[in-house]
Structure 1
Amino acid sequence: MTDEMLLLENQLCFALVTAARNVVSAYRPILTPLGLTHPQYLVMLALWERTPRSLTDLADEIAMDPATASPLVKRLESQGLVSRERRAGDERRLDITLTPEGQALREKAIDVPPQVAAATGLSIDQLVAIRNALAPIAGRAA
């Protein structure tokens, strides 16, 4: 082991944490006009893919604990973007469904990825390559 291996700038964990913070910061001004925070955007992305979803399924999809995802869903409900309903036949399950307003927001969100690319100075192809390179570490298929 060399001393260079212990330099902060050579640490994968530092590069990932710094990059994540910078990327989330790039999203902030893009999502604000949509009335969404970054975590709320993740919830909406998952629901635009498939709705309804149970709270547990939704939390798993966005890599959050249900206890963390629940307040996000409640805020989205108060904004009129989603509805929460107990599943008939299994009162323990909470289904999250997009409202018409939540579905309509998808059309405005179409512009988010190109705006993020512009904000980061990277092309869509570069962003896809970075995402794909991180997939094995993130535990997600690319």
Structure 2
Amino acid sequence: MSTQGSESSDLGLLALDRQVCFALAVAAREVIALYKPLLEPLGITHPQYLVMLALWERAPMRVGELADRLSLEPATLSPLLKRLEAHGLVTRERDPRDDRALAVTLTPAGRAARAKAVEIPEQVMAALGMGLSEVEQLRDGLLGVIAAARR
């Protein structure tokens, strides 16, 4: 049997504005929305941008490695890669080291897209009104949340 006092404290803990999941979901939606107009000239979506960021760091990369790098399931990554391939930004071919695996490689257009994307991080920081150190501090905090959630 619950009392008025315990119901009140329970409601406090269940208040929407006190939920970390709510704050993270809204923040993610709002920040990703900032990317949309910046990515339109490249003709890619935010999830495709994340794939391109990983490939600009290191390509070629096996699909499994890329999925791990992006914390995605390969089945989720496949449609993204197909669309990037249709846009002429990547190719998917059998890995010469292991013909059971697909390797993703940047095309010349995919490599050239990097030069167009180089200003995006600064534009996002400006839209947020945050400097590099603030963004890095936020990112580090979120990486801590990710690590804690995975434990």
Same fold (TM over 0.5): yes
2: distance between equivalents of 1:45 and 1:89? 24
TM-score by length of 2: 0.87
Counterpart secondary structure, 1:130 = helix
> In the alignment, is residue 70 of structure 1 matched against residue 78 of structure 2?
yes
The one of 96, 101, 108 aligned to 1:100: 108
1:136: which partner in 2?
A: 144
2: distance between equivalents of 1:34 and 1:8? 37
2: distance between equivalents of 1:4 and 1:89? 57
Unaligned runs of 5+ in 1: none
2: distance between equivalents of 1:41 and 1:85? 20
Counterpart secondary structure, 2:94 = strand
1:118 shift after superposition: 1.8
The one of 24, 27, 38 aligned to 2:46: 38
> In the alignment, is residue 5 of structure 1 matched against residue 37 of structure 2?
no
The structure whose Rg is larger is 2
Query: CA-atom RMSD, angstroms?
Result: 1.5
Unaligned runs of 5+ in 2: 1-5
> In the alignment, is residue 57 of structure 1 matched against residue 57 of structure 2?
no
Counterpart secondary structure, 1:83 = strand
The C-alpha deviation readout for 1:97-128, integer Å capped at 9, x for no partner, is 01111111111111000111122222222211
2: distance between equivalents of 1:87 and 1:15? 41
> In the alignment, is residue 119 of structure 1 matched against residue 127 of structure 2?
yes
2: distance between equivalents of 1:105 and 1:15? 32
The one of 13, 27, 39 aligned to 1:19: 27
Q: Partner letter of residue 134 of structure 1?
A: L
Counterpart secondary structure, 2:44 = coil
2: distance between equivalents of 1:125 and 1:29? 24
Pick which of 84-93 and 65-74 moved more: 84-93
Q: How many residues align?
A: 140
TM-score by length of 1: 0.92
